């Protein structure tokens, strides 16, 4: 099976992008632009999908923990739905990223941490607490 990766990514303005077909994080030389506003991608999370399990993904429901403002749709006088604002996210910190990385375990998402990431006791405790807080925040976020 070939090595397949993609990146969950956020631009400078907090727009969500998915960068396909890359094996390395975007750097300054080949930095892709945001699909929405064309500004620079400044945060990425690598996902390994070689075995179809999205190893490393922050699942969409949990990504809501970082939601800063929801998208807004307006209906014009012709009855069209126009997207006025896109969803905007806060850039996750490195610890927040590590706390929420997951993979698809048959039908459900399973956290990579703490099972596959042995760390010092203090780091583990901190990340486990962070994971809990972020899960709660994601559950409260607007759908
Ligand atoms: Zn953007
Ligand atoms: Zn219209």
Q: Of the ligands numbered here, which is closest to the C-alpha atom of 74? A: 2
Using DSSP, state whether 128 is helix, strand or coil. Answer: helix
The kind and range of the H/E element at 10 are: strand 5-11
Quote the percentage of the chain above a pLDDT of 70: 90
Ligand with smallest separation from the Cα of 78 = 2
Q: How far is CA 19 from the centre of its chain?
A: 11
Ligand nearest, relative to CA of residue 89: 1
Residue with tokens 């620079």: 40
CA distance 138 to 41: 23
What whole-number distance in Å separates Cα of residue 11 and Cα of residue 14? 5
In tens, the pLDDT along 119-140 reads: 677 788 899 999 999 999 999 9
Q: What is the mean pLDDT of the chain?
A: 89
The yes-or-no verdict on residue 28 having pLDDT over 80 is: no
What is the 37 CA–ligand 1 centroid distance (Å)? Answer: 4
Q: Which residue has the tokens 């727009």?
A: 15
Q: Which ligand is nearest to the CA of 84?
A: 2
Model confidence, pTM = 0.86
pLDDT (tens digit per residue) in 5-21: 999 999 999 999 999 87
Two structure tokens written together for 95: 């610890």
Cβ proximity of 46 and 7 under 8 Å? yes
- Which ligand does the CA of 81 lie closest to? 2
* Mean pLDDT in residue range 22-26: 61
Ligand 2 center–CA 80 separation, angstroms: 5
What's the mean pLDDT in 83-99?
Answer: 95
CA dist 110 and 104 (Å) reads 6
Output the CA 121–ligand 1 centroid distance in Å. 38
Q: How far apart are alpha carbons 38 and 143 in whole angstroms? A: 26
CA–CA gap between residue 24 and residue 58 (Å, rounded)? 18
């Amino acid at each position: 099976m070939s090595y397949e990766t993609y990146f969950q990514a956020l631009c400078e303005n907090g727009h969500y992008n998915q960068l396909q077909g890359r094996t390395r994080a975007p750097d300054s030389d080949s930095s892709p632009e945001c699909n929405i506003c064309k500004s620079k991608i400044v945060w990425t999370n690598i996902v390994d999908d070689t075995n179809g399990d999205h190893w490393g993904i922050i699942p969409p429901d949990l990504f809501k923990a970082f939601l800063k403002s929801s998208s807004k749709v307006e209906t014009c006088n012709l009855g069209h739905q126009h997207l006025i604002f896109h969803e905007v996210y806060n850039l996750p910190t490195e610890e927040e990223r590590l706390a929420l990385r997951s993979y698809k375990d048959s039908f459900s998402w399973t956290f990579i941490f703490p099972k596959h990431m042995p760390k010092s006791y203090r780091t583990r405790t901190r990340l486990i607490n962070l994971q809990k807080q972020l899960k709660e925040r994601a559950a409260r976020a607007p759908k």
